[in-house]
Amino acid sequence: MAGKPATIPVTVGVLALQGDFREHLEVLRSLGATAVPVRRAEELTAIDGLVIPGGESTVIDKLSRAFGVAEPVKQAIAAGMPVYGTCAGLIMIADRVLDAIEGQQSFGGLDVAVRRNAFGSQTESFEVELRMPVLGDPPVHAVFIRAPVVETVGDQVTALASLADGRVVAVQQGNLLGTSFHPEITGDTRFHQYFLNRVRATAFRS
Ligand code: GLN
């Protein structure tokens, strides 16, 4: 596939069932993309990539199944649609979820095991500077809110950033990107730009 030149506009969906989808829509629009909320299966056919926001993965899971959007999202991921998940969104694209509630499901696609609420109930949120080589300098100011960590990664997965203790908090596997933290609330648009570059290079809808 040749991919779409950067000048051709792309449309990115943001799964808008629960969580901080408005923030993602704003960042994507500020970068020149057309960004649309996605709540129904039909809306998936009109997008070149999908962002799954932070929020609560158990709720996003339940609502996505209730709205009939879970299966179509799984199929789109399997077909190669670029997806970026932040925090709960990372949990939703993980193949394996540790400390899930009973019956909790994910869309999967990303060959990792993530642990929910990995920093314990004492640590609701914290912020650190993270070195992320794919984004260059300066380091990313990363905000973690009841965040998961990536505990195991498959052969095809690249760790993009780790905490000082070595725990992985940003990953990529082909068109799937995930971060434990929330770039959509810090004003640092580099991660969304990185994702958009991936979307533009993919020609998913053609
Ligand atoms: N702890 C939440 C979950 O399990 C994720 C928190 C977040 O997205 N900020 O889904």
All structural domains of the chain with their residue ranges:
4-205
Q: Which atom of ligand 1 is nearest to the CA of 57?
A: 10
For residue 89, the ligand 1 atom closest to its alpha carbon is 8
Q: Is the previous residue joined to 72 through a cis bond, with omega within 30 degrees of 0?
A: no
Chain centroid to CA 102: 23
| Catalytic annotation present for 43 | no
> Which uninterrupted H or E stretch holds 181?
none
Q: Which residue has the higher pLDDT, 182 or 6?
A: 182
CATH 3.40.50.880 for domain 4-205, yes or no, is yes
Does 24 participate in catalysis according to the annotation? no
Q: Nearest Cα to 50, choosing from 28, 66, 26, 19?
A: 28
The reported pLDDT for the residue numbered 206 is 44
Nearest protein Cα to ligand 1, atom 1: 146
Measured in Å, residue 182 CA sits from the centre of ligand 1 at: 11
Q: Under DSSP, is residue 144 helix (H, G, I), strand (E, B) or coil?
A: strand
Length reported for the chain: 206
| Cα distance between residue 49 and residue 148, in whole Å | 23
Instruction: Compute the distance from residue 8 Cα to the ligand 1 centre, in Å.
Output: 34
Ligand 1 mean position, distance from CA 55 (Å): 5
Average pLDDT over residues 22-45: 97
Question: Which tens digit of pLDDT belongs to each residue from 151-163?
Answer: 999 999 999 999 9
Angle at CA of residue 33, ends 161 and 157, nearest 5°? 25
What residues does ligand 1 touch, defined as CB less than 6 Å away? 54-57, 87-88, 91, 116-117, 145-146
What value does the mean pLDDT take over residues 20-36?
Answer: 97
